[in-house]
Amino acid sequence: MAKASSDIRSASIRSSVSKGKPRKSAAKGGGTKKSAKPSLLSEAKIREVFRRFHAANPEPKGELEHINPYTLLVAVVLSAQATDAGVNKATRALFKAADTPEKMLALGEEKVRDYIKTIGLYRAKAKNVIGLSQRLVDDFGGEVPADSGILESLPGVGRKTANVVMNIAFQHPTIAVDTHVFRVANRIGLSHGTTPLAVEEDLLRVVPPEYLMHAHHWLILHGRYVCKARKPECWRCIVNDLCLFPDKTPAPTAK
Ligand code: SF4
């Protein structure tokens, strides 16, 4: 049942992509001033963007450490408003003590709190980790279901988390839009979306199908290490000549 629903979703993604052409705008009205809105890249240029990302890093990986789908789910829940490095530091010990929902429940909320207290919002997150573990044990035999709708119904799990798990654990071509993906997609000219959902829908439509599986990883890594929020390092960007961002950073001058 769960798999069938996911397959339907994947099929609908593939179908929208195959029909797709870059949309003029994901959200009517946009939210930004019309005169300031840059164009979107053409289909051919979008393909070239992802061809270059693929050539530079054919198998991009997420940076959250995990052992199985369950520990991936927990790590992503813990990563909200926290860095992957900070989460990894805490989960190394946590996952040694508990790498299944049953073991996490045996550990208990108080001990989970102790393991993750270096992470922001740790009290609420510990509660969610116990809550989602309980649901998995009660309703899914301790397994993580490969169904984004069910995943989103678990405590502390939103659309982005569900998409990350569907992509990394179950190889579904989902796009998880975090702050990096949102920024980079808008800067390059892949989307004018003003919400994460609008950007997700745009990317599902315009990214060529053969690049969909890894697209969000490439965009996250590009945003984290090159197209940084405050000062994008445009002078060393592999898609500089394609990107439509009007305020590109010039190369630093030698002293
Ligand atoms: S050229 Fe600059 S703004 Fe455009 S994607 Fe590259 S780093 Fe980001």
Q: Residue 99, Cα to own-chain centre: how many angstroms? A: 22
Catalytic residue among 178, 231, 247, 255: 178
pLDDT class of 32 with cuts at 50, 70, 90: very low
- The reported pLDDT for the residue numbered 39 is 85
The pLDDT of residue 171 is above 80: yes
pLDDT digits (tens, 9 = 90+) for 62-71: 899 999 999 9
Q: Residue 118 above 80 pLDDT?
A: yes
pLDDT tens readout for residues 38-87: 589 999 999 999 999 999 999 999 899 999 999 999 999 999 989 999 99
Q: Which residues line ligand 1 (CB under 6 A)?
A: 187-188, 226-227, 232-234, 237, 239-240, 243, 245, 248
- Confidence class for position 23, pLDDT limits 50, 70, 90: very low
Say yes or no to pLDDT of 12 above 60. no
Catalytic residue status for 202: no
- Same fold? 32-62+173-249, 69-168: no
Taking the centre of ligand 1 as the mean of its atom positions, its distance from the CA of residue 207, in whole angstroms, is: 18
From the alpha carbon of 232, which atom of ligand 1 is closest? 7
Mutation to probe ligand 1, out of 186, 237, 238, 241 (largest number of atoms < 8 A from CB): 237
Distance 190 CA to ligand 1 centre (A): 12
- What's residue 67's pLDDT? 97
Q: Which of 160, 202, 231, 241 is catalytic?
A: 160
Atom of ligand 1 nearest to the CA of 226: 7
- Domain positions in the chain are 32-62+173-249, 69-168
Catalytic residue flag (residue 160): yes
In CATH, 69-168 is 3.40.30.10: no
pTM: 0.83
- d(CA 241, ligand 1 centre) in Å: 9
Task: Look at the domain 32-62+173-249 and name its fold.
Answer: Endonuclease Iii, domain 2 (1.10.1670)
Q: For a substitution probing ligand 1, which of 221, 224, 245 has the most ligand atoms within 8 Å of its CB?
A: 245
